[in-house]
Chain A
Amino acid sequence: MSTPFAELVREHQSMVFSIAYHFLRDRTVAEEIAQDVFLKLFRNLDSLESPAHVTFWLRRVTVHRAVDYARKRQRRPEIALEDTAELRDRHETGDPMLNRRLQALVQSLPEKPRSVMILRYQEDLMPEEIARILDMPVRTVKSHLHRSLAMLREKMERSMGGSR
């Protein structure tokens, strides 16, 4: 039997898990965070007014949880076991090596630009929507995007030049 909440979990699990995974690149932790987020969703369902509100809320809470976890991990560093080729998605498109390189570069960004990049390229959101989720001015979102892309472009070009 499928409850409305189970349907919500099924509908949003890949979004929530992927935000946490791209932020931390640790599958186990990303699943823990995703589970926590859904538990919190269950407790707060009454306050959410529409499916769009649920999606907005899930994105926002997942980013916050991932940021909190990253801060704690920074204080108490651990060895990430998942920074390997382990996570190969069946639906992965493009060059897997290039994908992993880009994921690692995104993960090396500071937390705010990292959140912006994940919401922009994983969720395909516009700067205005990202600004609402992250509670920051649109111009700040655009500036994070611009600078992060420039940094990634430079690092990719440098690594390609180095590999020649």
Chain B
Amino acid sequence: MMDDLERQLGDALGRKEPSAGFEHRVLAAVERSKKRPWFSPRFQWAAAIAASLVMIAGVVRYREAEERAAGEAAKLKLELALKITSEKLQKIQDRVNQGNQE
């Protein structure tokens, strides 16, 4: 059951009209938005997808470059280790040879 207050609220919150020409302003805004395709949802979706693809490609390339750099560093380390080992082996070989000659 509606009481007095609810009836008064119905009066107070009744629908009101916007100012004259509102409809024309809306239609004009719609026409303007048609001339700016970047405002259309399709264009925004396409732009978002393109931006995501560029980001993903960037991340993939960055990771590849990182992996390549890490590989290069490991290769250098291994080469250095092999060089040191080979030098040490050479020294040992030299000493063994010296011992045999004596």
- Residues of A participating in the B interface, judged by any CB pair closer than 8 Å: 5-6, 9-10, 13-15, 17-18, 21-22, 27, 30-31, 34-35, 38-39, 42-44, 87, 89-95, 98-100, 102-103, 106, 117-118, 121-122, 124, 149, 152-153, 156
Give a binary string over B1-45; 1 marks a CB under 8 Å from any A CB, 0 the rest.
Answer: 000011011111111111100110111011001000001110000
| Cα separation A76 to B16 with both chains bound (whole Å) | 27
Tell me the count of chain B residues lying within 8 A, CB to CB, of chain A.
25
What's the minimum C-beta distance from B22 to chain A, rounded to whole angstroms? 6
User: Using a CB-CB cutoff of 8 Å, which residues 45-62 of chain B contact chain A?
Assistant: none
Contact flag A121-B40 (CB < 8 Å), given A17-B22, A31-B19, A31-B22: no
Q: Return the chain B residue nearest A16 by Cβ.
A: B18
Q: Using a CB–CB distance below 8 Å, which chain B residues touch chain A?
A: 5-6, 8-19, 22-23, 25-27, 29-30, 33, 39-41
Cβ of B16 to closest chain A Cβ, rounded Å: 5
The residues of B that contact A93 with a CB separation of less than 8 Å are 11, 14
A-B contact pairs, 6 of them (CB 8 A): A5-B30, A38-B26, A38-B30, A42-B33, A121-B10, A121-B13
With A14-B17, A102-B12, A124-B10 given, can you name 5 additional A-B contacts, CB distance below 8 Å?
A5-B27, A17-B18, A106-B9, A121-B12, A121-B13
Q: Are A122 and B19 in contact (CB under 8 A)?
A: no
Q: Do A39 and B16 touch (CB < 8 A)? A: no
Are A149 and B16 in contact (CB-based, < 8 A)?
Answer: no
Report yes or no: A153 in contact with B5, Cβ–Cβ below 8 A: yes
- With contact pairs A35-B29, A42-B30, A43-B41 given, residues A122 and B8 touching in the complex (Cβ less than 8 Å): no
**For A94, A149, A153, which residue has the most chain B Cβ atoms within 10 angstroms?**
A94
Q: Give Cα A26–Cα B9 distance, bound, in whole angstroms.
A: 19
Interface centre among B5, B18, B41 (most CB of A within 10 A): B18
A13 and B22 contacting across the interface, CB-CB below 8 Å: yes
Neighbour of B12 across the interface among A6, A42, A99, A149, CB < 8 A: A99
Tell me the complex Cα distance, A102–B26, Å.
30
Whether A14 contacts B11 by the Cβ 8 Å rule is no
A106 touches B5 (CB 8 A): no
By a CB distance below 8 angstroms, the chain B residues around A91 are 14
Residues of B within 8 A of A118 (CB): 13
Most B CB contacts (10 A, CB to CB) among A5, A99, A106 go to A99
